[in-house]
Amino acid sequence: MHELIRSNKRRSALLVAGFVLVVTLIGALIGWLLGGGSIVMTIVALVIAAAVAFASYWKADAIALRVSRARPADEHEFARLHNLVEGLCIASGLPKPRVYVVDDPAPNAFATVRNPQHAAIAVTTGLLDQMNRVELEGVVAHELSHIRNYDILVSTLAVTMVGAVALMTDLAIRTMWWNGGRVSRSGDHADRNNPLAYVGFGLLILAPIIAKVMQAAISRQRETLADVSACQMTRYPPGLISALEKLQADQTATHSASTATAHLWIEQPMSGLGDDGRLQGAHRWFDTHPPLDERIALLREL
């Protein structure tokens, strides 16, 4: 189990490093296509993306809770939930996060955190209705693992990279459209029939898609890490396995979720329901969560 946790952390680090490399290469490609005149534009795009990411990270918990229409969980009405959270926090050495409930019949849960001292977990009423104590403990441990592993920081970095790539490519394509292509250092237009220019233009179009796939890959790695960490926390994998099996059997969409918060939930809240057609494989490239059957199979091997 410890080796699997280290392996997932290494893979996440490699994906983040790959993200940085992609952003750097896209900036270099833009500079080449525009004749070296895009350095300022690239810097501006990165600064804007970083500023947006910093603001989002600082207010991520409040935004996610508000968008999901979460309300504070009353300690008397939801005593079982509070007891589970307190017990797991004491066992893992984490401060108790704020606890919220989302009025939604679909079983699901998410955590949002700036750091362990400013964290919150939210569960739907559907989850509380369908899970027994052991299963609910597995779900809560999964969300606490996200808090302990600082997953929101990694996710915010991934979103930043996607935003930077999208912003740079959009500005570059607009500049190329109005300026007529790459401009040489002497000020004359370069040969527009240069095959490399078309290759570069095609890469600019594909860059946001590549970045989005990499963002989804990072989210999937963090979900797998949280599953394994949760079993380490509870020392009882069958609890989380049973919870994931119930989530797999339930086909109710989480109405409180949105595309902006989809990566936070324990289960893919919207997309993936009924995606069994010819494009099923392509759809999974953009999924923020691994398939539940793969997660269950992995936990059975622990």
CB 51 within 8 A of CB 162: no
Q: How many helices (H) and strands (E) would you count in the chain? A: 11, 4
Q: Which two tokens stand for residue 61?
A: 């918990």
217 vs 211: CA distance, rounded Å: 10
Eight-class DSSP state of 121: E
Q: Which two tokens stand for residue 201?
A: 């233009």
Residue 74 makes CB contacts below 8 A (sequence gap 6+) with: none
User: Is 75 noted as a catalytic residue in this protein?
Assistant: no
47 vs 31: CA distance, rounded Å: 17
Q: Which of 3, 86, 137, 143 is labelled catalytic?
A: 143
Strands of the chain (E only): list them: 70-72, 98-102, 109-115, 118-124
Q: Which residues of 114-132 are buried (b: 16+ CB within 10 A; e: fewer)?
A: bebebbbbbbbebbbebbe
Q: Which two tokens stand for residue 135?
A: 């299963």
247 vs 147: CA distance, rounded Å: 21
Token pair 């069958």 is at which residue? 238
Task: Write out the catalytic residue numbers.
Answer: 143
